Amino acid sequence: MHDVRCVLDAQAELGESPVWSAEEQALYWVDILEPALHRFDPASGATRRWPLPKSIGSFGLRERGGAVLALRDGFYGFDFDSGALRFIAGPGETPGVRFNDGKVSPDGRFWAGTMDEATLSQPLGALYRLDPDGSLQRMIEGLIVSNGLAWSADGRTMFHSDSKGKALYAWDYDPAAGSIANRRVIARPDEDVGRPDGGATDVEGYYWSAGISAGVLNRWSPDGRLDRRIPLPCVCPTMPCFGGPDLKTLYITSLRHGLAADRLAEKPLSGGLFALQVDVPGVPVAKFRG
């Protein structure tokens, strides 16, 4: 039985994109709708907040310091000290479409996908790859809500999902070229099992998925078997992230936005940041090389 703790009652409207900094032993995360970037120090409980001018879907830390952000309309460099933003590249998306889930790949590229925010039903989204030189490539089209990015420990498999397509996918990944091929379906979780939101991988090759529709964290085997299902004290978990000195602490973000009063009364910690201990360490997430 897992002991799930609320480590920060953040009351986030739409908490997402937790990213662990091994150097700082701190967790960064975002509230998409606030919009803001946050930092949480598990040892002291100290927090810090950087307000942003437009919604943020996800981000990655940079090797040279600072971060790369996927804001509503494109990719930006961000300086933690000054709060300054610098536009890098954007796809010129249509109104009603915004950036969502993203993560740095093992080879130091930043991947982030878009979603149909207006209706949550049209395949208007895509998955993009931002290279260290600032060039932008569209890698997958026809998505409703791009989500669930994570890579295997050897960097040769990329996991991805379309939250509204209700499928978890795996792709062959070539770190040298940053290319993907041979998509296959790992699982098709329904609403009761937990529609897939954000994801993370452990060193055994298992994929942890936030089951946003079922209030659970699911651990999937490489062949699509549901290995573990952990109920969480929130209505809608959004994304897991491995942290801690040994990468055996799983942090999970969650949301409050749009929840009915009775659901919030059931689980008042919704919108909080949660943590649980696991026995298998996670795969560390790389930093953007640009």
Q: Cα–Cα distance between 183 and 181 in angstroms, integer?
A: 6
Classify 232 as helix, strand or coil: coil
Binding site feature residues: 16, 98, 100, 147, 197
Characterize the bridge pairing of strands 157-162 and 167-174. Answer: antiparallel
Binding site feature residues for substrate: 98, 100
Largest CA distance in the chain: 50
In the chain, alpha helices (H): 261-266
Whether the Cβ atoms of residue 201 and residue 164 lie closer than 8 Å to each other: no
How far, CA to CA in Å, does 224 sit from each of 116, 134, 189, 231? 27, 35, 10, 19
Q: Cα–Cα distance between 147 and 193 in angstroms, integer?
A: 17
A 10 A CB-CB count for 89 gives: 14
Q: Cα–Cα distance between 227 and 229 in angstroms, integer?
A: 7
Put the strands of the sheet holding 67-71 in their side by side order.
56-61, 67-71, 74-78, 85-89
Of 190, 245, 187, the C-alpha closest to 219 is 187
Of 143, 149, 90, 89, the C-alpha closest to 120 is 143
Whether the Cβ atoms of residue 7 and residue 282 lie closer than 8 Å to each other: no
Of 195, 204, 252, the C-alpha closest to 227 is 204
Active site positions, annotated: 197
* Length in residues, the chain: 290
Binding site feature residues for a divalent metal cation: 16, 147, 197
Characterize the bridge pairing of strands 47-51 and 56-61. Answer: unpaired
